[in-house]
Amino acid sequence: MIRDASPADYAAIRAVLTAAFPTPAEADLVERLRAEGDARVELVADEGEGPIGCILYSPLRIERADRVLDCAALAPLAVSPAFQNKGLGGRLIEAGNERCRALGLCAIVVLGHPVYYPRFGFSPEAAESLDAPFSGRSFMALALEPGALTAGGKVHYARAFGV
């Protein structure tokens, strides 16, 4: 099942992230985002024995001439190696995106695998108009509010990203 992360899960989330990535950089990022109050949506996949997957969304602002859009950056997403290729990542993304929609956010931005994320509605085309530290086919976005990404704007990540 997919549920909200709680402080009791933090050690297990660190274990998932360090097992899924070759260095602790992603685990450190998550802890820094939390410490700075920027873990806006944090979910875990748990089949009864504690977290085996996790996803985090942090606040992302898109500044346009007419308004500032309240959006989210999806990063990181991880599933323990022993439980990969079973659709858990997809369930985390679907639940997380739904939560962002319920929060009234305008869009979600991700830097990720160019074949995987389009399955969940993300596309590099949607991110094309944005003025961001990234570009190319790995930099993708999903508009939750229709038309949110058609007028460009400057992207500001949470401080912990360091970009």
Partner 1 sequence: MAALRAWFAQQGFIEAEPGALTRAPGAETHIDAFETRGLYLHTSPEFAMKKLLAAGEEKIFFLGKAYRAGERGPLHAPEFTLLEWYRAGAPYERIMEDCVALVRAACNAIGADRLAWRDANCDPYAEEERLTAAEAFSAHAGHDLLGAAISSEAFSRLLTAHVEPCLGQTRLTMLREYPLSEAALARRCAHDPRVAERFELYACGVELANGFGELTDPVEQRTRLEAAMAEKLRVYGQSWPIDEDFLAALAYMPPASGCALGVDRLVMLASGATHIDQVLWTPPP
Residue written as tokens 């999806």?
74
Q: Kindly tell me which of 19 and 95 has the beta carbon lying closer to partner 1.
A: 19
124 upstream amide cis, omega within 30 of 0: no
Work out whether strand 130-131 and strand 153-156 pair parallel, antiparallel, or are unpaired: parallel
Q: Which listed residue (10, 116, 120, 161) binds partner 1 by CB under 8 A?
A: 161
What part of residues 69-108 is at the interface with partner 1 (CB under 8 A)? 75-76, 81
Can you tell me the distance from the alpha carbon of 134 to that of 131, in angstroms, rounded to the nearest whole number? 8
51 is a contact residue toward partner 1 (CB under 8 A)? no
What part of residues 122-151 is at the interface with partner 1 (CB under 8 A)? 133-139
Find out whether 43 and 33 touch, Cβ atoms under 8 Å. Answer: no
Q: Kindly tell me which of 25 and 102 has the beta carbon lying closer to partner 1.
A: 25
Q: Which two tokens stand for residue 37?
A: 């109050």
- Chain contacts with partner 1 (rule: CB under 8 A): 18-19, 21-26, 28-29, 32, 75-76, 81, 111-112, 133-139, 160-163
